[in-house]
């Protein structure tokens, strides 16, 4: 009879969700706290990932 190989368990909680973010599948949501960038002098839209908290900024 062969050897039994134990499988690694999937992480639960924040680590399980962030695996999607590691692959580039973020869940972007508009963060309305900061709408104007003083350094650029432009209106900006700040997106924050609901799962991992990463920010993405686009200028208008």
Q: Does a structural domain hold residue 7?
A: no
Number of domains into which the chain is organized = 1
Q: Does a structural domain hold residue 14?
A: no
Per-residue pLDDT tens for 6-29?
Answer: 888 766 655 555 678 888 889 999
Q: Does a structural domain hold residue 17?
A: no
Please identify which residue in the block is written with the tokens 């997106």. 47
Task: Output the six-digit token pair for 44.
Answer: 């900006």
Q: Is the pLDDT of residue 56 over 80?
A: yes
Give how far Cα 60 sits from Cα of 20, 34, 38, 42, 57, Å. 28, 14, 13, 7, 10
Q: Does a structural domain hold residue 37?
A: yes
Give me the phi and psi of 27, to 5 degrees please.
-115, 85
Q: Report residue 57's pLDDT band, with 50, 70 and 90 as the boundaries.
A: confident
pTM: predicted TM-score of the whole model, two decimal places: 0.60
Domain of residue 48: give its range. 27-59
């Amino acid at each position: 009879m062969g050897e039994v190989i134990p499988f690694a368990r999937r992480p639960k909680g924040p680590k399980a969700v962030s695996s999607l973010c590691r692959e580039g599948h973020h869940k972007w949501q508009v963060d309305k706290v900061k709408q104007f960038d003083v350094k650029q002098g432009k209106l900006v839209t700040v997106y924050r990932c609901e799962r991992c908290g990463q920010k993405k900024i686009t200028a208008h």
